[in-house]
Amino acid sequence: MEHSKLINCYCFNPLCKRSIFSINTCVAVQAPLSKVLSDPIYCAGCKSELVSKPTLEIKSQISSCLNQPAPLKVIVINGDPVFHTVIKTTLNKFSSFEKIWHCSNGLDALSYLEKNKDHKELLPDLILVDINMDRMNGWEFLENYQNLYPSLAKRSSVYMTTSALLPAELMKSRDYKFIKGTISKPLKMESLKEITSILEPVLN
């Protein structure tokens, strides 16, 4: 069984000759994704923690989405356990996130939101919802969330996560005023499933 899809990791220390800031001497360290997700990898030159390209892409996208003060809460709605793993690993590196809820389908998320709609402290600041899911797809979730939205004690920022969004779907998303944008999936999820553990949804 192959456990070693190699990805590039980079040093971001401006003073290090091996970092991305040194054009002629920059070093990309290749490591298996399984190791990157589980253990820190350090620069051989300055001993700073290296950052992987997939983690950097997700971190950059999420950073550009957020304009709210810490601490933040997020609900991740996605049927792919690999996406949950990568998002969890990435968000845990943000000191601004105090709580991450994982849902494998929109029904569990709606149930939680309905149950806690009057409790601002229990509602998320950010919702990441995947468009393609087997049990209640993203569009069905958004339709139900739109009905629930006016009664919620907190106005969450909603972002759709998708590998590709058709022009017609982009136009459709504009019908939902609470949608702030989309976050693309930088990883080929199918090739990574063998090296990640299944995350159980934490919402009951």
Per-residue pLDDT of the chain (204 residues; tens, 9 = 90+): 344 678 888 888 888 999 888 878 999 998 887 777 677 889 999 998 888 877 766 666 655 555 555 567 888 898 877 777 777 776 666 556 678 888 888 999 999 999 999 998 889 888 888 888 877 888 899 999 999 999 999 888 888 887 766 777 777 788 888 888 777 665 443 433 332 332 333 333
> Are 92 and 30 in the same domain?
no
Q: What is the DSSP letter of 201?
A: P
Contact by Cβ (8 Å): 137, 131? yes
> Are 99 and 114 in the same domain?
yes
Say if pTM beats, i.e. exceeds, 0.95.
Answer: no
Residue 165 counted as domain residue: yes
CA angle centred on 91, ends 88 and 95, rounded to 5°: 135
Residue 113 counted as domain residue: yes
> Are 95 and 186 in the same domain?
yes
Domain span at residue 12 reads: 6-49
> Are 122 and 88 in the same domain?
yes
In the chain, at which residue ranges do the beta strands (DSSP E only) sit? 6-10, 29-32, 51-52, 72-77, 97-103, 126-130, 157-162, 179-184
> Are 109 and 66 in the same domain?
yes
> Are 61 and 162 in the same domain?
yes
